[in-house]
Amino acid sequence: MLKYLIPLIIFIVMGVFLAIGLKLNPTEIPSPFIGKPAPAFSAAKLDNPEQKLSPEDLKGKVWLFNVWASWCVSCRAEHPVLNQLAQQHAALIIGLNYKDARDDALNWLNKLGNPYDMSVSDQEGRIGIDWGVYGVPETFVVDKKGIIRHKHTGPVTPETVQQTLLPLIAKLQAE
Amino acid sequence: MKILTLITLLLWAGLGSAGVEYREFKNPEQQEAYESLTSELRCLVCQNQTIADSNADLAADLRRQVYEMLEKGQSKDEVLKFMTERYGDFVLYNPPFKVKTLLLWLGPVLFFLIGALFVIVLIRRKQTSPKQVLSDEQQQKIRRLLDEGDRS
């Protein structure tokens, strides 16, 4: 009996591990930033490069930091969801226009609508590196004290908005 | 012959351009640091490549970052710290020894010990099992069969 039981147990254990391995998403890398202060920057605003924006200016507000680019295909899929989220005025939505040409970016917003309260440009991708950005789009949630509370990698879907972002924003607004 | 040489050289040119920028270093140590760092940092877009191997945009940016930090005189450890603070341990091809990576580091030893234990138990069991002694009758049968085999 034991002779057959041992291989069976080994098989089941391996099966469970492999099944978990299959379900894991290797592109989702846990951000070491959760619970840490948002990295500082002072970046030119997209619509008016003379003016700068830094996370310091946003203290006391809950804001989303959405990394986007006009060349990014998934951003296009995400865009209507952000437009809808913007209409709810749950939190400020700040865009980081990542490694993009300014004209392309402005055209994109004109054509598809502008969900951002403000977008800043990061043409060389330096702010991106500072924020640990590795795949556009990415969305961070920053609380009133300037602490990063959540990061979503990949396009934001209506489900993520309903199940994760809105409840979290409500909680942070109440803090 | 000349054409053949030309073709060969042209083919080589393509190979040389993969993921490499022209960099100038102040000293050989800096170059060595740059080369070792870029070959132990993971490109997060194409996860099975180092940033030295990868052609991805992000890899090029990270190489630039490494180069600039070294140019400023920062040490290898400072560069690694900068990267792990932003991208987590995942960015390192050589993961640190921590509680979380315990199984990763000790797993092979563990599996070796399990295997060794298995072998030892198997050998012990063989040794303790009583040796089969053949009866006289069986021995005669063997001899007879062998003899028959010789004759045929």
Q: Closest chain A residue to B87 measured between Cα atoms?
A: A132
**What is the model's pLDDT at position B10?**
67
Distance CA A37, CA A55 (A): 10
Nearest chain B alpha carbon to A98: B58
> B85 — contact with chain A (CB < 8 Å)?
yes
> How distant is the Cα of A51 from the closest Cα of chain B, in angstroms?
25
d(CA A88, nearest CA chain B) in Å: 31
> What pTM does this model have?
0.75
Contact A29 B58 (CB under 8 A): no
DSSP states of A113-148: ----SEEEEETTSHHHHHTT--SSSEEEEE-TTSBE
Which helix (H) or strand (E) segment holds residue A106: the answer is helix A102-112
Residue A52: its H or E element: strand A52-53
Residue B77 has pLDDT above 50, yes or no: yes
Using the predicted structure, report yes or no on whether residue A91 has a pLDDT greater than 50: yes
From the list A41, A46, A33, the residue with the least C-alpha distance to A99 is A46
Q: Is the ipTM of this complex over 0.85?
A: no
pLDDT in tens, A34-76: 999 999 999 999 988 899 999 999 999 999 999 999 999 999 9
Pure H helices in B1-152: 2-16, 28-38, 57-71, 76-87, 102-128, 136-151
* pLDDT (tens digit per residue) in B18-41: 456 788 888 888 899 999 999 999
Q: What is the pLDDT of residues A10-30, one digit of tens each?
A: 999 999 999 998 888 777 777
Amino acid at A23: K
Mean pLDDT of A148-173: 93
Higher pLDDT, B17 or A137: A137
- Cβ separation A29–B85 shorter than 8 A: no
Cα–Cα distance between A7 and A54 in angstroms, integer?
A: 60
Are the Cβ atoms of A125 and B57 closer than 8 angstroms?
A: yes
Dihedrals phi, psi of A121, to nearest 5 degrees: -100, 145
How far is residue B1's CA from residue B46's CA, in Å, rounded to a whole number? 40
Please, are residues A149 and A172 in contact by the beta-carbon 8 Å criterion?
Answer: yes
